[in-house]
Amino acid sequence: MLDDGTPIVRATPGDAGEILTLQRACWVQEAQANDTLDIPALQESFDDVRGWLGEWDTWVVRRAGRLVGAVRGRLEGEHTWDIGRIMVAPDLQGSGLGRVLLEHIQAVAPAGVTSYVLFTGAASARNQRLYKKAGFRLRTDLPAPPHAVVLSKRR
């Protein structure tokens, strides 16, 4: 729950369209910051989003009925919680919602998780600052998608 009482709730298949819209709004900014359109989140279709909603533990935030934030996580192997798609509507970025979503997805990780991992754009300075402030560290020893860096944190 956010400080103002707004709940963070599990996403449903019916959220796919709004998640796709939010995702595109967020990742256009990433494309500009990283000077590439070769970003998986920008290449996905509605069906892709519906598909991964069944594979990821996804949470959303709505304000006045509008989907304004989302985050997802899933178990990789036995002990690693893969965090992804932290999204905040462009007009609300910088309000602390991304930090709260990051805290939430870590808190809902299964009990056996010993570490968290995520990736972000190599030139996404704002995102990297958020993750480093939350205790994540750059991991040059782990493979990253093109134009991205991997960060991790022990639980």
Please name the residues in contact with 41: beta carbons below 8 A apart, sequence gap of 6 or more. 23, 24, 26, 27, 30, 85
Q: What is the pLDDT of residues 60-91, one digit of tens each?
A: 999 999 999 999 999 999 999 999 999 999 99
- DSSP E strand boundaries for 65-136: 66-76, 80-88, 115-121
Total structural domains within the chain? 1
Give the range of the structural domain holding residue 52, as residue numbers without chain letter: 8-117
Is residue 18 domain-resident?
yes
**pTM of the prediction?**
0.92
Average pLDDT for residues 17-29, to the nearest whole number? 91
Radius of gyration of the chain (CA): 15
Is residue 29 domain-resident?
yes
Is residue 106 domain-resident?
yes
Query: Cα separation of 3 and 98, whole Å?
Result: 13
Q: What is the pLDDT of residues 94-115, one digit of tens each?
A: 899 999 999 999 999 999 999 9
Is residue 23 domain-resident?
yes
Query: Cα separation of 150 and 20, whole Å?
Result: 23
Q: Which amino acid is at 69?
A: G
Query: Cα separation of 14 and 92, whole Å?
Result: 23
> What percent of the chain shows pLDDT beyond 90?
75
Sole residue written with tokens 């462009």:
90
Is residue 89 domain-resident?
yes
Q: Which CATH number covers residue 99? A: 3.40.630.30
Is residue 128 domain-resident?
no
Is residue 36 domain-resident?
yes
Is residue 136 domain-resident?
no
- pLDDT for 37: 79
- pLDDT for 43: 85
